[in-house]
Amino acid sequence: MIPTLILQTWLCGLLSLGILSGAIYFAHEWQQRSWVWDASLGASVFQPEVGMNEVTGLLAAACVLVLITLFGGSLLKLVLSSSKPGQGANAVPPYDSITPRISQQIQRPDGTSLRVEVYGPENGMPIVLTHGWGLDSTEWTYFKREMADRFRLIVWDLPGLGKSTRPNNRDFSLDKMAHDLEAVLEFAGSKKAILVGHSIGGMIVMTFCRHFPAALGTRVQGLVLTHTTPTNPVRTTSGAAFLTAIQTPVLKPLMWLTIALSPVVWVMNWLSYRNGSMHITTKRGSFAGTESWAQIDFAARFQLRASPGVVARGMLGMMEYDATDVLPQINVPTLVIAGSDDTTTLPRASQAIQHAVPNGHLTTLIPAKHLGLVEHHEEYAEKVREFSFSSQNQEVPETAPLPLNVIHPFPQTGAKL
């Protein structure tokens, strides 16, 4: 989830409140109009008139809106599931079925308690997996199923998400998370690891490269950067020019409002999930058409588990991120994976990373959007598997600065960041 999606959160939430408010209004009007004066009793009595009339229409409208509020998602499931029968492996709900070999909380100096889980054989090649923002480590459920037989998979929850706690100092910067990643890397032991990051996970990996350059080639064997960006994601999303212009006057205030009203926003998210609007936006923004209902619901549920306040603080941190200067200094094999139709982080962001990293390789999932690694989980796992083995035999190249227009491929448009 990148900063611009704060608009989607509020629009869906306000729409959901509007539907619920409409139901309450129509029910109230029906109740008020159902009271009639009984002359024999000399008092008003509740006597609703059932039939083809305006009063009954108010009750029907209220009932319809209540059904949409509570069961719209279930109705949407019936429609989408019937339109896509089968779906093979994607029809299976992607929930954890593998027991971790190690589950541990590691304490950080800022008070964060990071949840770390290790899967697979102890002597397997280590792969450290960093999930996207607003999600948690269960994002890697498919990946664990397909890779835990041969690799030592190390997954962790980012601060404030999943089973990891928030930092006491409310620091959700990419620099802080890069230092957390360095602590998680200890679980790889003496073997060189592959660092895999999705969305903000990729940004954290690139920030890690800035803070711990000596780890590249010694503790880190290679990088896999998935559906991510080398700079502030507001600049590399669809409609970047407009969204960058409203970053300071609109997006940032909305994030601070979300932090202040976090419980209210969570209720709006719950309503959006129940009425199906969250599923619709998740399908449109994260999947490219070959997904199953199980995958849509799997992705939508993350917004119910995450604190809106935490998500907003992380979005503010992303706006201060830029790793374009460090890319030419990354001296380990790097696989960049793009989604052909990704509107959250445009494919050109992945292309910029690949061009700037000396030993960068680009591959594209087709068709795919921001959760291409879930929609095409088998293909994604195979690409990472092949890269992991091939990176063992690649020599570390010399690094050299690239031309300025390559290092900074995205214009500094709009408001000052």
* pLDDT number for residue 148: 92
* pLDDT number for residue 90: 62
Which two tokens mark 206? 């690139």
Which two tokens mark 136? 């948690």
- Tell me which residue has tokens 């869906």: 12
Residue 177 and residue 394: Cα distance in Å, rounded?
28
Please list, in sequence order, all residues whose beta carbon lies within 8 angstroms of the beta carbon of residue 238, skipping any fewer than 6 positions away.
Answer: 343, 344, 346
- Nearest Cα residue to 132 out of 326, 281, 292, 344: 344
Query: Cβ atoms within 10 A of the Cβ of 168, count?
Result: 11
What are the Cα distances from residue 240, in Å, to 77, 236, 248, 349? Answer: 32, 6, 14, 12
* pLDDT number for residue 44: 76
- Tell me which residue has tokens 């889980």: 117
* pLDDT number for residue 396: 45
Q: What is the mean pLDDT of each run of 10 residues along the chain (417 residues)?
A: 90 95 94 80 77 88 94 87 62 70 95 96 95 96 93 97 96 96 94 97 97 96 97 95 95 96 96 95 94 92 95 96 96 96 96 95 96 96 95 56 42 39
Residue 347 and residue 340: Cα distance in Å, rounded?
6
Which two tokens mark 42? 């000399």
Residue 158 and residue 115: Cα distance in Å, rounded?
8
Q: Each residue of 32-51: pLDDT tens digit?
A: 888 876 777 777 777 787 88
- Nearest Cα residue to 229 out of 240, 220, 219: 240
Residues 104-139: b if buried by 16+ CB within 10 A, e if exposed: eebebeeebebbbbbbbeeebbbbbbbbbbbbbbbb
Q: Output the CATH code of domain 104-394.
A: 3.40.50.1820
Q: Each residue of 266-301: pLDDT tens digit?
A: 999 999 999 999 999 999 999 999 999 989 999 999
**DSSP characters over 226-267:** ES--SB-GGGGSTTHHHHHHTIIIIIHHHHHHHHHTHHHHHH
Length of the chain: 417
No. of H helices and E strands in the chain?
16, 10
Per DSSP, 213 falls in state G
Domain ranges, ordered by start, for the chain: 104-394
User: Before 367, cis peptide (omega within 30)?
Assistant: yes
Overall pTM surpassing 0.95 (yes/no) = no
Query: Cβ atoms within 10 A of the Cβ of 62, count?
Result: 20
Q: Where are the beta strands (DSSP E) in 47-140?
A: 102-107, 113-119, 125-130
3-state secondary structure of 151: strand
